[in-house]
A and B are shown apart, each in its own frame.
Chain A
């Protein structure tokens, strides 16, 4: 059984490759290359997979899931400039793909000790753009 929790955080980012010139960055990343950055209201849907516990009827303790998401995603990322304030985005460009993969890695480690396994992370950067990360082989 799958269970999905949705959270939102707001953050700024900039997508640039420092070794490339302005024109190349503009061509690659468009408006997202603006050196001073810009922001999004990111929406994260965290889907876990497990069987309901025969006693509690729950796939996972939602308090526990909420705390994990708070600690790994919302506290470090909400109202932050991802490139300057959240590792590893000082070294890795915070594209939607990389932010989604980082959220997957952070949650996956924590949920390994839980009753439910991480199944999918869906990150909306805007209403018209989202990234899915799953544990399946490509």
Chain B
């Protein structure tokens, strides 16, 4: 098995706050992260693509195309933004890094074929480092529907 991982960087602010909890509960559960004005991080995103390497080019995936996908479909939405206020998905979803990982996975899967074609390269992992101490990742199963699926996996999101 061979896989290539590309790291990307974005800075954004967020606030952890669930409308389903009282203000006191939000403050207790999220602590400093519940500060009403929000706070920011320099996030590192790792996108892992599994092989095989193309015998002609020696590459699993055209990095320029992967960069275009991540840049246009993820970084352009997240970088320099207030996630809660500026990113549609977090209007109804707590902007925890767990949820960020899931939203990014869905954005990548939904746009995969239009940027990378229907070749053998597949998304196998999304990893987000929030701080030096916190990181979150999700493995993407081989049989995951890698088509232009609609954004529709809300039930899986963590909304604690």
Seen from chain A, the residues whose Cβ lies within 8 Å of a Cβ on chain B are: 15, 17, 27-30, 92-98, 100-101, 127-138
Contacts and interface: CB of A to CB of B under 8 A. Distances in A.
Interface string B1-35: 11111111000000000000000000000000000
B7 A129 contact: yes
Nearest to B56: A17
B134 interface: no
B52 interface: yes
B4 to A, nearest CB: 5
Contacts, number: 63
A137 B51 CA distance: 11
A131 B2 contact: yes
A98 B52 CA distance: 10
Count class of interface residues, chain B: 20 to 34
Contacts of A134: 1-2
Contacts of B3: 131-132
Given A28-B57, A28-B62, A93-B57, A132 B6 contact: no
Interface of B: 1-8, 48, 50-53, 56-60, 62-64
Nearest to A130: B5
15 contacts: A15-B58, A27-B64, A30-B64, A95-B53, A95-B57, A97-B4, A97-B53, A97-B59, A98-B58, A101-B2, A101-B53, A128-B6, A131-B2, A132-B2, A138-B52
A100 B53 CA distance: 11
Given A97-B51, A97-B53, A101-B53, A137 B1 contact: yes
Given A129-B63, A138-B1, 10 more contacts: A93-B58, A95-B53, A128-B7, A129-B7, A131-B3, A132-B1, A132-B3, A138-B2, A138-B50, A138-B51
B53 A98 contact: yes
Contacts of B62: 28
Nearest to B6: A129
A35 B67 CA distance: 23
A129 B51 contact: no
Contacts of A130: 4-5
Nearest to B62: A28
A95 B64 contact: no
